[in-house]
Amino acid sequence: MMTRIFSLVFVLALAGCGGTGFGLFGGDDEPVDLGPAAVAEPEGGLAAGAPSNPASDGQFRGLTVASLGDATRPGLWIETPVVTEEGPGRVIAPDGTVVALTLIPSGGDRGSGSRLSLEAMQALGIPLTDLPTVTVISDV
């Protein structure tokens, strides 16, 4: 148990380092252009229909902890504080699965977490009670 707590504290501390805007402790809000070689393809390949490089031609907006959003609201979307305008984008699950969806600003503070639609959670293969850390890429 202590090892898990130490590991979590260590990861959270590192998440805020560097001022890159994707840590739990803030940073600047400038998008980072990942370029074509920034994201490696996970073992077993990507989700069906996903580009070979899920971040190509997009802007890295941040990492965010996501929970299930309003399950009665249809569609593929994420409400997140890492964007300020609604638009098209992608979310990459911890296992490398990629889903194209609509990015919706939540209005919350950076690090306050995000909400994924029921359809997005299912498409990413994430159990509805999990709190995964997902990567958000803007296609604007």
pLDDT tens-digit readout, 41-51 = 344 444 444 44
Domain region containing 96? 2-138
Q: What is the mean pLDDT of residues 60-86?
A: 97
Give every CB contact of residue 45 below 8 A, 6+ residues apart in sequence: none
In the chain, how many domains are there?
1
pTM of the model: 0.63
d(Cα 59, Cα 48) in Å, to the nearest integer? 21
Mean pLDDT over all residues of the chain? 75
d(Cα 118, Cα 121) in Å, to the nearest integer? 5
pLDDT tens-digit readout, 79-135 = 999 999 999 999 999 999 999 999 999 999 988 999 999 999 999 999 999 999 999
Give every CB contact of residue 88 below 8 A, 6+ residues apart in sequence: 100, 101, 102, 103, 138, 139, 140
Sign of the C-alpha dihedral, residues 122, 113, 92, 132? negative
